[in-house]
Chains A and B, each alone.
Chain A
């Protein structure tokens, strides 16, 4: 339900407020020898955040449960994008960004889009190659590389 989501979000934000206040008190939130101490600004930010999130929680509670926050049918395509993307970022550390993004593109296109293997191969290889040319060769911005690039001599 939207209310539950609202309350959970408010609680998490409240936690961030508490962290800010707690850490500011450690640093000192008052007036030091040369002006406000390090914790001064975050302390008031945290305090305000706590107050406002409590108000939002009260608002959300009063408004009633509301529509479902996300239905199963809505969540499925979101997760189909999200998990492979997380896997891609994880893989990047091992095989480099170019190979990881090629695998991600190929996987998603085949799994969700059910495109022909030829299309899948052309795009999932073509895009990283273009990225490589633009970033690495033209603008000299290096990307994480893995064994494949090492084997090719980069």
Chain B
């Protein structure tokens, strides 16, 4: 039965138009991933308005392809320029950049792309198998279960996100408060608008994404004195084939990375810890741990496999539960709503062509993607050689165009600028931005789930513990939430220093 659905999906994904859309998406996505200030999330946000007139399946294929492209593009800048475009590319720079400096850039890039592809494929197969099951279970979920999942989503940012847990909590709370601004659909009352008409619509998270990640990031990179000194690519067919001959040696690293990536990735904020964890494991089990950090190919394979597996796994909760696992998935979720689809478990029964088209396009998109980036590295690397005095204003203009296009409203462009400054300050003070965006997206959903749960129980919080599924999820959520308090205590109990070393070990 599953196979039938997948075949249906392929019949949709492999039409000439959708393949064309995938190619365009990957090309644009890779460019976006290479450019500073434009990553997966805001790239998807800026292009979202262009999909309004497209059929939903083609639209989601465009956006997901963009995402795969951005994930591939991150590896190019990490290896050749030592600039991690996204936090989960940081671990790739440890060995990728030294390799490139030693003239092994082609080898490192081939390994990175191949690992990304393997990691992604692993997650896609698991999604194909488990998404329908999860959706079926989720059909039986009531408001308490959904609220518990939301709680789990946000507490995993606090517990697993790294950094200061209090600051993660602030980002979440701020996101929820901003989401509450405007009309309360349940009671019809206006909240926190203070008579200002422009506030009645509330804050759109897509604008927040463009501002926080786009403008904020560009401000940060000009501050650091944007100079790209790239290593030579050294990429040709011979290098690719030679590297492919070596790669099977790292089979265990691939499998481990893919498992870590998928396991961490379907929970929010998981891609970054997954990449570091996979790197640390590869180093620990390696026969030559001393070579790590100096240009060991396995040190590229491990984080890339995990990061890409995690990036793909973030799609799973989005399509089955309607709860995104990453800011990029959140923007896609926003897209679903704009295209007139109701995200959540019902999607599988009501729009099978959409869901299976999407899943099948994940296979085709990643196959096209890996071939395109392998062939196109010199072109994509050349983008970073464009002078920054041209790139910087260009990115600002692209962000402004994208922000305006969402609602054709000028106030949104101003909000984008404000969010840009906020993003810059938050980034400098280590407030994480992803939980803020996710809270802004999920605000209304979470609040409604909480309200309905409380109505069911006449206002008692025990409703989250008396229902078995809700109870398990709530307990897990509370565990993650209090993990930052429990960890030092637990470590002291075992006679270890209270704070663990940097997760990177490098």
Query: Which residues of A line the B interface, CB within 8 A?
Result: 2, 5-6, 9, 13, 16-17, 19-20, 23-24, 27, 31-32, 34-42, 45-46, 48-49, 52-53, 55-56, 59, 69-70, 74-75, 77-78, 80-82, 84-86, 88-89, 92-93, 97, 101, 104-105, 108-109, 112-115, 123, 127-128, 131, 134-135, 139-144
Contacts and interface: CB of A to CB of B under 8 A. Distances in A.
Contacts of A112: 389, 392
Interface in B389-429: 389-390, 392-394, 396-397, 400-401, 404-405, 408, 410, 413-414, 417, 421, 424-426, 428-429
B223 A42 contact: no
A74 B149 CA distance: 42
B218 interface: yes
B372 interface: no
A17 B236 CA distance: 56
Contacts of A37: 187
B369 interface: no
B459 A31 contact: yes
The 10 closest A-B pairs by CB, nearest first: A113-B389, A108-B393, A35-B455, A77-B222, A49-B173, A101-B397, A38-B189, A41-B447, A42-B180, A74-B223
B397 A105 contact: yes
A149 B97 CA distance: 48
Contacts of B194: 23
A114 B390 CA distance: 10
A52 B400 contact: no
Contacts of A36: 450-451, 454-455, 459
Given A9-B429, A39-B191, A85-B396, A45 B166 contact: no
A123 B390 contact: yes
Contacts of B174: 13, 16, 49
B186 interface: yes
Interface residues of B, number: 60
Contacts of A6: 429
24 contacts: A17-B173, A19-B192, A23-B191, A27-B191, A41-B180, A42-B191, A45-B173, A48-B173, A49-B173, A52-B170, A59-B166, A78-B223, A81-B396, A85-B396, A88-B397, A93-B410, A97-B400, A97-B404, A101-B401, A105-B394, A105-B397, A127-B397, A139-B49, A143-B405
B471 interface: no
Contact of B170 (A24, A53, A135): A53
Contacts of A9: 425-426, 429, 431
Grouping DSSP codes into helix (H, G, I), strand (E, B) and loop, the B interface class, with mixed when no group exceeds half, is helix
B241 interface: no
Interface of B: 49-50, 52-53, 164, 166-167, 169-170, 173-174, 176-177, 180, 184, 186-187, 189, 191-192, 194, 215, 218-219, 222-225, 387-390, 392-394, 396-397, 400-401, 404-405, 408, 410, 413-414, 417, 421, 424-426, 428-429, 431, 447, 450-452, 454-455, 459
Please indicate which of the listed interface residues A46, A52, A92 has the most CB atoms of chain B within 10 Å of its own CB: A52
B50 A23 contact: no
A141 B52 contact: yes
A5 B425 contact: yes
Contacts of B184: 38
A40 B447 CA distance: 9
Contacts of A128: 397
B300 to A, nearest CB: 32
A45 B429 contact: no
A104 B417 CA distance: 15
Contacts of A84: 393
A5 B459 CA distance: 40
Contacts of A93: 410
Contacts of A31: 459
Please indicate which of the listed interface residues A16, A55, A114, A134 has the most CB atoms of chain B within 10 Å of its own CB: A16
Contact of A92 (B180, B192, B408, B410): B410
A112 B388 CA distance: 9
Given A78-B222, A97-B404, A127 B451 contact: no
Given A108-B392, A108-B393, A35 B451 contact: yes
A92 B394 contact: no
